[in-house]
Amino acid sequence: MKKITTFEDKKILVLGLAKSGLAAARLLHDLGAIVTVNDGKPFAENKEAQELLEEGVKVICGSHPLDLLDEDFALMVKNPGIRYDNPMVERAISLNIPVITEVELAYLVSVAPIIGITGTNGKTTTTTLIADILNAGGKAAKLSGNIGFPASGVASKAVSTDNLVMELSSFQLMGIKTFKPQIAVITNLFSAHLDYHGSQEAYEAAKWRIQENMTADDLLILNFNQEKCKALSSLTKATVVPFSTKEKVAGAYVLDGKIYFKDEFIMNVAALALPGEHNVENALAAIAVAKLRAVSNASILSVLTTFSGVKHRLQYLGELDGRKVYNDSKATNILATQKALSGLDNSKLWLLAGGLDRGNGFDTLEPDLIGLKGMVVFGETAPKLQKTAEKLDIPVFHSENVATALEEILPQTEIGDVILLSPACASWDQYKTFEERGDLFIASFEKLK
């Protein structure tokens, strides 16, 4: 870690705890800052705040008093999930207090080069693939960022021979100033988080910030399957390395069922362990990074032919009596379920879906459901999904929840069938998180196995 003096004896407010706030507060405290943490959770229920208080950090919990900002802070480090129209953030900006997210701190102290990955879909899979391939090739890689390992905490422990493979959300990227990865990846750009950003243009602008400090010495990997990403390639100072499944490009591409990087054959598409066109794109992005880091084809192949998916993201669990089972609990919206369905054969597929009713229908999902062997529905949206299934003449069954769905539908299936949990809905009608929902499904699979 770089022992910077930038924050020494400076008063800094960390707004919002959770993992990233805790890591940021500890790092700043170690760097000699005078840290105050403000979190909405009451102190008695706030383990992170209790730990920080014991470590000598000032904590204010249970509310967000605006007059706290009268204390002449030099900087605010904001939890990425806190919006910019939050009263505390608005007041900080009005007082000309710089507002950053903790990925900026990570960049400032890191002695390891950063490989940053952003985009709408595929971020976590691509980030994990890149780290796994680099490690397989002897290039030490550490996962960090939005993938569950706070960037500033990982950066503070990394050494110069490491690679920080950092998943970056639009929320995090809105809070950067000097942040600059050596290699950046934008997997794709679709509509998302409009409630936070206000418009698609603002959302895409936040994603595009990943490259704003990059130079020609840095490498930007872009998805040329998307015209908007192709158009953006002319608007960056970074050196662009494209990937595409549709055309030969000066990077990673597919031709006649084979994957190449700059005319060098890497592997056959059919050998990829993860199904679906979107996972071919994820693999291409990961291959591009690997080749730019001089990883051998053998190391690339060893990962891409065995990778079973990130937990809860089209995760292959294994077979039950000759039936393949996938856990895609992370599919909390229709687009994510469409992505999952695109890689599987509907004529052998049983879909398990349902969850929180946000008021939307499932008309846009109908073309992707045609020909399904059957559906199991649960949760608040079960009646809507049943109507959709009946409209398409798909056999439909009800289950109480994901824990019972697998056991109840198994007798209806045949050897060679595929069972997919991809709810197309948030989990909050029955579960606290999509992880809890997926864990219960995994537990059901293990029990039956």
pLDDT at residue number 190? 86
Neighbours of 105 (CB within 10 A): 30
- Domain check: are 224 and 263 in the same one? yes
Residue from 334, 386, 51 nearest 37 by CA: 51
Which H or E element spans position 243?
A: strand 239-244
Residue from 49, 100, 96 nearest 72 by CA: 96
Is-contact 188 157, C-beta < 8 A? no
Q: Which residues of the chain have pLDDT under 50?
A: none
- Domain check: are 278 and 327 in the same one? no
User: Where a domain ends, among 100, 116, 134?
Assistant: 100
CATH of the domain at 69: 3.40.50.720
- Domain check: are 416 and 393 in the same one? yes
Return the bridge partners of 318, or none.
Answer: 325
- Domain check: are 63 and 207 in the same one? no
Domain of residue 148 covers 103-304
Instruction: Give Cβ neighbours of residue 426 (< 8 Å, ≥ 6 apart).
Output: 332, 333, 355, 356, 358, 434
Residue from 443, 438, 400, 436 nearest 420 by CA: 438
CA atoms of 211 and 203, how far apart (whole Å): 15
Half-sphere exposure of 119 toward its Cβ, with a 13 Å CA cutoff?
Answer: 26
Provide the 8-state DSSP code for 245.
Answer: S
- Ramachandran area for residue 226 (φ above 0: left; ψ -120 to 50: alpha; else beta): beta
Neighbours of 332 (CB within 10 A): 22
Number of domains in the chain: 3
Which H or E element spans position 106?
A: helix 102-109
Structural domain contains residue 107: yes
CA atoms of 213 and 201, how far apart (whole Å): 20
Please give the annotated binding residues for ATP, written as ranges.
Answer: 119-125
- Domain check: are 338 and 242 in the same one? no
pLDDT at residue number 183? 98
pLDDT at residue number 192? 76
Is-contact 321 415, C-beta < 8 A? yes
- Domain check: are 219 and 231 in the same one? yes
Is-contact 20 79, C-beta < 8 A? yes
Structural domain contains residue 66: yes
Please give the annotated binding residues, written as ranges.
Answer: 119-125
Structural domain contains residue 1: no
CATH of the domain at 263: 3.40.1190.10
pLDDT at residue number 39? 97
- Domain check: are 107 and 172 in the same one? yes
CA atoms of 309 and 400, how far apart (whole Å): 27
Which H or E element spans position 136?
A: helix 123-136
Structural domain contains residue 310: no
